[in-house]
Structure 1
Amino acid sequence: MAWRDAKASRVRLVLFMASIVLGIAAVVSIQLFRDNLQDNIQQQSKSLMGADYLIDINETPNERAQAIIDSLKPVATEVNFVSMIAFPKNGGTKLVRVRGLEGTFPIYGKMKTQPEDATTSYQEDQGALVDATLMLQYNIVPGDSIKVGQLTLPIIGALNSLPGSSAVMSSVAPPVVIPYGLVPKTELLQFGSRKEYQYYYKADAQTDLEQLEDVLEPMLDAENADLDTHTSTSRRLGRRYENMGKFLNLVAFIALLLGCVGIASSVHIYIREKLKHIAVLKCLGASRRQSFLIYLIQIAGIGIIGGCIGGLIGIGIQESFPYILKEFLPFDVTISITAQPIIMGIVLGFLMAVLFALLSLLNTWYVSPLSALRISDDNNAIQPKLARFAVFGAIILFLFLFSYWLLRHVPYAIAFVVGVLITFAILAGIAKLTMRMIKVWFPKSLGYTTRQSLLNLFRPNNQTLVLIVAIGLGTFLISTLYFTKDILLSKTEVGNTAQSANIILLDVQPEQGVAISKTITDNNLEVINNIPLVTMRIHSVKGLVSNVAEQDSTVHIRRWVYNHEFRTTYRDSLIASEEILEGEWTPKVASGDVIPISISDNLAEDAQVRVGDPIVFNVQGVLMETVVGSIRMVDWGQLQLNFSIVFPKGVLENAPQFNVLTTNAPNEASSADLQRDVVANYPNVTVIDLRQVYTIVEDILSKVTWIINFMAFFSILTGIIVLIGSVRTSKYQRIKESVLLRTLGAKNKQILKISALEYVLLGLIGSLVGIILALLSAMLLAVFVFNEPFVPSVVPFLVFLPVISLLVLGIGLSNIRGVLQSSPLEVLRREV
């Protein structure tokens, strides 16, 4: 019976299955890729680092630090820094990351070069390995030379890959590897130069890395050094993709909810149409159990089939993720199909179908055989409250367990479920309020067709509650996804924020300032900014030095605050990327006065300070007492020089410092000329061409945008199919009424107007309420989940509202097309 009935109703059940298929496909593809990414990070963590663990320090190690480093017997040593290099063959210049290496590196993984023996021969021949892409760009081949600072050396081979380096990093600053012993000859490591020393180690089989970290970390912290193990690196790498993972999980959650909405609304109307048939079956001797199982088997079977199809589609989708994301990952993702997400997809398909259809299926149990004899179409069976509550409880538990499975965070899971329930309650309340208001204030003076349309919204056999909830919830989920997409993409918009300065010259020594300024003007360019930089560390916060703060369990100052070497500046005004949140900006102070500094909000949070709290700095050996005068919000996303700490004028002018100069090069030729002159005469100065950086970053972010838009579109498509299914299955509630109206003499035009106005009102009310609720939910997501500012888009109001309303109208009118094209008797016979 289940099979025969399903064959007869296959058109309605196809849309029902589509909701399940798309929801499951999104869930399976996202979960499979997440599992594969986590497995790859864990399996390749040693290769990513190139060692079991390493010690890194941003300055030349002092005697105590060097003793700790040497006692552990490093296998390889590295110093790396960003600098400009030149190719004497053609005069080309480029910003690169120079990596000076000695010893056996990498311990794990492989440095891939062309020719292959260049991996070791560059040390023996005292030459360089240069990024392969960079060599192609500048038409350089092995045997040519490269100038690194004051040192010119031969290129031994092309570097294809290096542990811990991704395509994104290489595109911004391609790697150049040289022997460690040649670094001093470059003369690039001067005062204020950013550099990093790394010492690589291989652990014994019995070494407990977590225990080693617990013992060494405090000792190294005291010497401004850090210990990184391959396990901590894999955790940190996993966190880099946290917001993307949150968004993908949100997509999966919304896709599943959309599928559930489609199931609930479709089955509600489908079963309602079947109640008369079930009553007849009961008259012929069918038991409650038999009539219930006929439709339960039917729905469960569709859920399992939909889960299988969705799982296969999900596998196909996730196979494409590694190709899309390969430039963001420092390793190749190996895809393996695990059974868990596929089984979960089939189980989810079954549970979604049964749970969200169960409330309607209960009607088959409680429908009376007398309904077969009653003239009224109101066949809703009276369900016991206990049965309804049990079904609602099962649905809520399912949503909670699924959201917890995705989020692994109980408060977030509870918040999501509560949010959905509140949204559902508001939509149901709006639907009932609409019916009540129209009934109370019914406009009796309007024309017949208008009155008939409004009567359809509240009289028996109305669709108002089901369709407003289905349309509203579908629009709510689609709009929430769109607003959330905007939250993430707002950080990927790279405007020309440094429009007046597109060339930045870093690490300019005080004695070089005048000469480099002249070099800029000699190239017919203008010096826009000359920004002084002073390096310093935090000695104490509110009287607490590092070791005291760590031992006091009541203090929650982040460790990096004490370890970080800050590059600070001094000036008398704010810049465009800054905004005062607390306190007052102090432009200048006199000698001997209290020194009020301005700090960024993220530093204030991590250092646990507020306006008026004292902070003591170590400025190259001299302790300087300051107080927090103001806290600033800094837009770190802008490509310009931003600072965590800014001093007022009148304090640091005589401190050891170096400068950053900026200028504007109107075209590529003038930028190349300036870079060539600076690199030739001042090799320690790093030149950043922001126009090149914009191109690279925009290319990267366009890929991120594509991924986010693709996943958003996928769920929006699911939502549209759900809406089509919900409205389409409602057609059987209006066919008989339209036929009776035609029998009584109504013209096709009148029937069209009655149906059009009804569906337009339902579409407008449902979609408008859904978008408003989505706006509120997106604000909460931005604040509590993504920690990003939220600027609402008008697209859902200008696009989703009219499009969904027109979609509902179009489907609604298509529902009665058969009535208008055939005679009333023919339609009635066909429907029976």
Structure 2
Amino acid sequence: MKDPALLPQAWRLARRELRGGLHGFGVFLACLCLGVFAISAVGSFAASAQGGLLADARALLGGDVEARLTHRELDAAQRAALAEKGRLSEVVEMRAMARAAQGEGRLLVELKAVDEAYPLFGALGIEPSAPLTDALATDAAGRHGALVEASLLQRLDLRVGDGLYLGEAELRVSGVLSREPDRTLGAFTLGPRLLLSHAALAETGLLQPGSLVTYAYRLRLPPETPADEVRAGLQAAFPDVGWRLRTWREAEPRVRDFIDRMTQNLSLVGLCALLVGGLGVAGAVRGYLGGKVYHIAAMKCLGAPGRVIFSGYLLQVLILGAIGAGIGLLAGAAVPWLAVQLFGGRLPVPLLPGFYAQPLLNAALFGLLIALVFSLKALGIARRVPPAVLFRGYAETARLSPGAGVWAAITLSATALALLAFLTSADRRLALWFIIGALACFAIFRGLSALVIARARRAPRPATPSLRLALANIHRRGSPAGSAVFSLGLGLTVLVIVALVQANLNRLVDETVPAEAPAFFFMDIQHDQVAAFESVLREVPGVRRSERYPTLRGRITAIAGVPVAEAQIAPEVRWAVRGDRFLSYAAAMPSGTELVAGRWWPADYAGPPLLSLTADVAQGFGLGVGDHLTVNILGREIIAEIANLRRVDWSTLDLNFALLFAPGTLEGAPQTHIATAYVAPADEGVLLRAVTDRLPNVSAIGTREVLANVARTLERIGTAFQGMAAVALITGFLVLAGAISADQHRRIHDAVIFKVCGATRRDILAAFAAEFVLLGLAAALISALVGSLAAWGILEGLMNTPFRLRAGAVLATLGAGLVLTLLLGLAGTWKALGQKPAPYLRED
């Protein structure tokens, strides 16, 4: 046969085989479909979220350009310069305590004061529907209107029309705020939103010098005006204002980063499911070609070259792989549409459903490479089946080698798979660790599954017949035990990893908070209110102790003279340069801290600016004692020398700061105080009412409520990872089902022999159940060990988080896996129990 005829001959062979149906390829299709679906669904959801952010960017930012300041407003000249560029809207944001006009309820709320131009883009959701100006207008009693989220009404037992005290003013709840266009991302908050007018905010008396207030000035530009040019012009005209200028293209960069990280992590879990599914692909192709041995030998006797056989069955595998991957791609591409239809406005990010080719192409390539990597060996062996098999009456192909060329193709495909995972990853370091971990897991599980079979072969013969038969079934030639332990073990390992990582992250909230944690953090205490605040603490008998520090807000602008945008900063401390940070000054070193470098300054220090920095931030910045850090505080650049480095245990919740200045630098700046109070639980309500009644502008943050919010956030993230891990586990069960299905004929044959020898159904069921229990236990023990080690590496190495083995989570996960393995195994062998011996005896 000439080479040009290779493809037509191979196509004829593949087409003929496909006409015979898809029998034996159910697991093949399901495994590829599930794995490709997982990857394409994550990619499509992330792409639609990115598209939604871009399409909604102006609404998310609130304008084409935003100028943001903390603590202070723009002056008249600066405001006029902004107003010349386009339509201007001014938004003021802060936190405060609200209390019901009737009753004792107190609640921390997120205030937003807006003008008549708000919102410049998008639309507010108000229930009952009303224009914003009418909702915020003053009623006959002189009360300004306010819009609140539904949770505020529930927690303070209020209804629309009721009164609400905020600072020194009484407001009227005029409606429920169901949507804000510039707050659709569901960011972490400390309380429900309360929307009011600038006039109403002025009457509350909450705007005090040094209060933690954010002023945002937003511009809607004419259609053809470039936002970047406007920002550059404003920055050049007012270089020393200290504002943060952003355009609509930079809206919510943290959310974009979060989406990228979630996409990366979930995609890797989905790829893990696809890798586990590769075992099902290998088993299905091997089982299918095993049944074609005599057919292949006959074709060789008639002169068919091995390359035609190889190419024909490869075409068949690729066609079926395309079908399975295509179904997965369609399902994955539909996820954003379904999410919008099912959840709508409850989604944490705006979605723009559509057909996103890049994530679907990546998922298709993953599916193609998995199909090749796990099917080429069986295809290579089929190519080398000798024609003499047709005359020997049996086929021993397990020991055949696929050949050097096929091994080279497998290596090339596996390398391409690893490169694709690496190049499509937003975090190359994490992707590299995943590739190494996947290779290690495959090697470990392959070796351990072989060890389980070897131990079963060498184990003493139990007196119980069912156990004896179970051990024999595990180590006999052609047993599916290796594939079962391998596939099920990998799936359970992924589930153990996710369970342990989530349990340890939850532990940070549940267990690392000390018993002596403060009950409240009190913020925005004015300097002239310190004495009154201390007096209230003394009057409440349950207060054991308190801490207090002056606070300001500052933004790090340069590290050792290098602007932040150009500096090399470790990823784990990038939070320190994202926007303004709380900072303070102190003469004495805070309690509970340890100096690791340098010396503390004298209590009466009055020299050039000195700074104490936490050791982790200094390491991430690449700084040491004697280096300099530039901090912008209220528009003034302060260059401070690092005098010492501190190690801080943040889990104590004692008051502390990453940046702590020496005395003599910040005392003259507008500032407020922050304090903690340690009080008995029974007296928390008394303290809260006493402080907020005496000092209405002071905000109280309850520690328990903050920790509950963090726990809910971790739970939502963990749910997504658990769902993806479940896909990996389901794929593992599919592989197990495929192995059981391929072994069906042998089990029927065994059941017939047992019945002839006098065994009852109960005896046969006990033997099969013992086999699956032993396999499940082996897979569970291996998964517990490997999954715990992997979770330890992820937490200690990648997340820099202490690891603790959570035996309950591991046992619950493995117990569920063991029960499902037993049920699946028995369901797959149930057919064997009902077979009559006579037909099979006649065949033999």
Please give the TM-score of this superposition, normalised by the length of structure 2: 0.79
Verify: 1:644 aligned to 2:658, yes or no: yes
Deviation at 1:596, TM superposition (A): 8.8
The answer for the alignment partner of 1:22 in structure 2 is 34
Moved more, 758-767 or 244-253: 758-767
Match of 1:603 among 617, 622, 625: 617
Deviation at 1:45, TM superposition (A): 0.7
CA distance in 1: counterparts of 2:565 and 2:352, whole angstroms: 45
The answer for the alignment partner of 1:227 in structure 2 is 245
Deviation at 1:105, TM superposition (A): 1.8
Query: What letter corresponds to residue 549 of structure 2 in structure 1?
Result: P
Q: How large is the RMSD of aligned CA atoms in angstroms?
A: 5.1
The answer for the alignment partner of 1:394 in structure 2 is 413
Contact 2:772 2:825 (8 Å CA) reproduced? yes
The answer for the alignment partner of 1:265 in structure 2 is 283
The answer for the alignment partner of 2:385 in structure 1 is 367
Deviation at 1:226, TM superposition (A): 0.6
Query: For residues 298-342 of structure 1, what are the alpha-carbon distances to aligned partners after superposition, in whole Å with 9 as ceiling and x for unaligned?
Result: 544543443344345546655554588778756653544657766
Deviation at 1:251, TM superposition (A): 2.7
Contact 1:268 1:360 (8 Å CA) reproduced? yes
The answer for the alignment partner of 1:82 in structure 2 is 95
Verify: 1:723 aligned to 2:736, yes or no: yes
The answer for the alignment partner of 2:584 in structure 1 is 568
Please give the residue correspondences for 1:288-687 in structure 2 after superposition, counting only pairs within 5 Å: 288=306, 292=310, 295-296=313-314, 299-311=317-329, 313-314=331-332, 318-319=336-337, 321-322=339-340, 332-336=350-354, 352-353=370-371, 355-380=373-398, 381-401=400-420, 404-405=423-424, 407-408=425-426, 412-430=430-448, 461=478, 466-486=483-503, 501-520=518-537, 522=539, 524-526=541-543, 528-535=545-552, 537=554, 544=560, 548-550=561-563, 564=580, 566-568=582-584, 570=586, 582-583=596-597, 589-592=602-605, 599-601=613-615, 603-605=617-619, 607-610=621-624, 613=627, 627-632=642-647, 634-635=649-650, 641-646=655-660, 658-664=673-679, 666=681, 674-687=687-700
Task: Provide structure 2 residue ranges, at least 5 long, that are not aligned to the other structure.
Answer: 1-12
CA distance in 1: counterparts of 2:447 and 2:821, whole angstroms: 21
Deviation at 1:228, TM superposition (A): 1.5
CA distance in 1: counterparts of 2:489 and 2:581, whole angstroms: 53
Query: What letter corresponds to residue 609 of structure 1 in structure 2?
Result: L
Residues 809 and 651 of structure 1: is their aligned pair in 2 closer, same or farther, counting only changes over 3 Å? Answer: same
Contact 2:540 2:687 (8 Å CA) reproduced? yes
Query: How many aligned positions are there?
Result: 818
Deviation at 1:509, TM superposition (A): 3.1
Query: For residues 437-469 of structure 1, what are the alpha-carbon distances to aligned partners after superposition, in whole Å with 9 as ceiling and x for unaligned?
Result: 999xx5799989899987877776465655554
Percent of counterpart pairs with the same letter? 23
CA distance in 2: counterparts of 1:786 and 1:318, whole angstroms: 30
Query: What letter corresponds to residue 36 of structure 1 in structure 2?
Result: S
Query: What letter corresponds to residue 78 of structure 1 in structure 2?
Result: V
Deviation at 1:40, TM superposition (A): 0.9
Deviation at 1:360, TM superposition (A): 0.9
CA distance in 2: counterparts of 1:825 and 1:360, whole angstroms: 35
The answer for the alignment partner of 1:278 in structure 2 is 296
Query: What letter corresponds to residue 599 of structure 1 in structure 2?
Result: L
Query: For residues 197-254 of structure 1, what are the alpha-carbon distances to aligned partners after superposition, in whole Å with 9 as ceiling and x for unaligned?
Result: 1111123444333455456558767432110111111443322334433332223212
Query: What letter corresponds to residue 97 of structure 2 in structure 1?
Result: M
Query: For residues 605-641 of structure 1, what are the alpha-carbon distances to aligned partners after superposition, in whole Å with 9 as ceiling and x for unaligned?
Result: 45432356566889999989664433335547x8775
Verify: 1:131 aligned to 2:143, yes or no: no
Query: What letter corresponds to residue 384 of structure 2 in structure 1?
Result: Y
Query: What letter corresponds to residue 603 of structure 1 in structure 2?
Result: V
Verify: 1:48 aligned to 2:37, yes or no: no
Contact 1:501 1:662 (8 Å CA) reproduced? yes
Counterpart secondary structure, 1:567: strand
CA distance in 2: counterparts of 1:290 and 1:185, whole angstroms: 87
Deviation at 1:658, TM superposition (A): 2.6
Counterpart secondary structure, 2:181: coil
Contact 1:474 1:722 (8 Å CA) reproduced? no
CA distance in 2: counterparts of 1:773 and 1:307, whole angstroms: 30
Match of 1:34 among 46, 50, 57: 46
Counterpart secondary structure, 1:75: strand
Residues 581 and 242 of structure 1: is their aligned pair in 2 closer, same or farther, counting only changes over 3 Å? Answer: farther
The answer for the alignment partner of 1:173 in structure 2 is 191
CA distance in 2: counterparts of 1:290 and 1:130, whole angstroms: 74
CA distance in 2: counterparts of 1:564 and 1:319, whole angstroms: 38
Deviation at 1:554, TM superposition (A): 7.3
Match of 2:70 among 58, 62, 67: 58
CA distance in 2: counterparts of 1:698 and 1:67, whole angstroms: 45
Residues 9 and 192 of structure 1: is their aligned pair in 2 closer, same or farther, counting only changes over 3 Å? Answer: same
Contact 1:478 1:719 (8 Å CA) reproduced? no
Query: What letter corresponds to residue 584 of structure 2 in structure 1?
Result: T
Contact 2:519 2:676 (8 Å CA) reproduced? no
CA distance in 1: counterparts of 2:166 and 2:833, whole angstroms: 82
CA distance in 1: counterparts of 2:762 and 2:172, whole angstroms: 85
CA distance in 2: counterparts of 1:42 and 1:650, whole angstroms: 46
Query: What letter corresponds to residue 194 of structure 2 in structure 1?
Result: V
Query: For residues 128-177 of structure 1, what are the alpha-carbon distances to aligned partners after superposition, in whole Å with 9 as ceiling and x for unaligned?
Result: 33215235655656665544333445555554432322485697333333
CA distance in 2: counterparts of 1:293 and 1:744, whole angstroms: 47
Match of 2:166 among 123, 148, 160: 148
Match of 2:257 among 233, 239, 249: 239
Contact 1:220 1:226 (8 Å CA) reproduced? no
Deviation at 1:378, TM superposition (A): 1.6
Contact 1:502 1:662 (8 Å CA) reproduced? yes
Query: For residues 269-315 of structure 1, what are the alpha-carbon distances to aligned partners after superposition, in whole Å with 9 as ceiling and x for unaligned?
Result: 44234323432454467665675566546544543443344345546
Query: For residues 482-527 of structure 1, what are the alpha-carbon distances to aligned partners after superposition, in whole Å with 9 as ceiling and x for unaligned?
Result: 4454466556759876765333332223443343344455555425
Moved more, 305-314 or 48-57: 305-314
Moved more, 447-456 or 82-91: 447-456
Residues 553 and 533 of structure 1: is their aligned pair in 2 closer, same or farther, counting only changes over 3 Å? Answer: closer
Contact 2:108 2:191 (8 Å CA) reproduced? yes
Residues 467 and 218 of structure 1: is their aligned pair in 2 closer, same or farther, counting only changes over 3 Å? Answer: farther
CA distance in 2: counterparts of 1:486 and 1:295, whole angstroms: 46
Verify: 1:119 aligned to 2:138, yes or no: no
Task: Provide structure 1 residue ranges, at least 5 long, that are not aligned to the other structure.
Answer: none
Residues 130 and 334 of structure 1: is their aligned pair in 2 closer, same or farther, counting only changes over 3 Å? Answer: same
Please give the residue correspondences for 1:64-103 in structure 2 after superposition, counting only pairs within 5 Å: 69=82, 72=85, 75-88=88-101, 92-102=105-115
CA distance in 2: counterparts of 1:323 and 1:602, whole angstroms: 45
The answer for the alignment partner of 1:688 in structure 2 is 701
Deviation at 1:794, TM superposition (A): 3.4
Residues 414 and 212 of structure 1: is their aligned pair in 2 closer, same or farther, counting only changes over 3 Å? Answer: farther
CA distance in 1: counterparts of 2:814 and 2:48, whole angstroms: 38
Contact 1:40 1:334 (8 Å CA) reproduced? yes
The answer for the alignment partner of 1:164 in structure 2 is 182
CA distance in 2: counterparts of 1:724 and 1:528, whole angstroms: 63
